[in-house]
Amino acid sequence: MAAGALVVPAASATTGPHQARTGSARADAVQEGLNALVRTDGVPAALAGVRERAGHTRTYTAGVGDLATGSAVPRDGQVRVGSNTKAFTAVAVLQLVGEGKVGLDTSVETYLPGLVHGKGIDGNRITVRRLLQHTSGLPDYVPYLDDDVRPYTPGDLVDIALRHEAVFAPGEDWQYSNTNYVLAGMIIEKVTRRPLGEELHRRVIERAGLRHTYFPAPGDVKIREAHPKGYYQESPGAPLRDGTELDPSWAWAAGQMISTNSDLNRFYTALLSGDLLPKAQLRQMRTTVPAEYFGPGARYGLGIVSRPLSCGGRYWGHGGSTTGYETRGGVRGDLRAAANIAVTTQPSDKRVMERVDGLVDGALCRRATRSH
């Protein structure tokens, strides 16, 4: 996965050659915020997309797309979007609920008999809803993955998780666990008898009109379209290394997808507009429990996060963290604006991502005010 250590060049401390599509070269607050992420926080590149109610989209870049060459950041380039994948997986499950093929309050044992059992773990007590809302108590497999990058099957990931004790009894607490969404993906495949990638493409990607979003096939380590390279550090302060090309099977239904900021804006807007789910299932998706893991006042629904806005109201999205990339954003509950921001590393300083969250908040509040 590593392609040698890289040092951020001086060129990464300046804005890329493209300015926001505003009809003016003058940078606005989003552009200034991206510039600061590169100049002050040291991220190699930052990209943003802001969509207003009328559908007008502005795209922004800062930094460089390749630390070795200093090449420009592709405007609205593809990135690995990590756990935003969970929202896509949840939509597919909830569509199956609407079709009468899956029951939200039916046990996992019904769909995957004999699979989910272990110390304090009983698939008869874990419902589909508890998977999607992270209230199952299942341990997360990610901390127990091997250091060596290798292909994983969904069954491998579940086996790793089930070697460990339940975190709590089903329904008694909330804790984020990627294991939940691997099992949700397995249920989709079991019920539809089709590969998860095909179902997500047919049910969600095509239906939402996403032209630059896909679920990589097994062994597909590349990013298909124009993209900034993603970087990682082996330890805080260590040199950045190129982690762009990797086998994403360790994340599968919990975090494997590739997309763009603009496509994520389009997806979350379509979802909250009711274009992807019947009203009953969208209502269930937006029924939330506290999830401070995502920040003060955050709440988790079924594969989607609700966060408070500084200007009042809330916005809905998910965000994602994966090797080389972090993404944050979503759509206002009143649908007046959507914004997503990506950076091309996983910052070790949590304050950096807090600043990214602040940029999302500012973009959603300003755009909504202007479009009102």
List residues with catalytic annotation.
Answer: 83
Query: 191-195 long-range CB contacts below 8 Å, 24 or more apart?
Result: 191/96, 191/101, 191/102, 191/111, 192/96, 192/101
Q: Buried b / exposed e across 297-322, counting CB within 10 Å, b at 16+?
A: ebbbbbbbbbbebeeeebbbbbbbbb
Could you give the dihedral angle defined by the CA atoms of residues 24, 26, 31 and 37, in that order, rounded to the nearest 10 degrees? 150
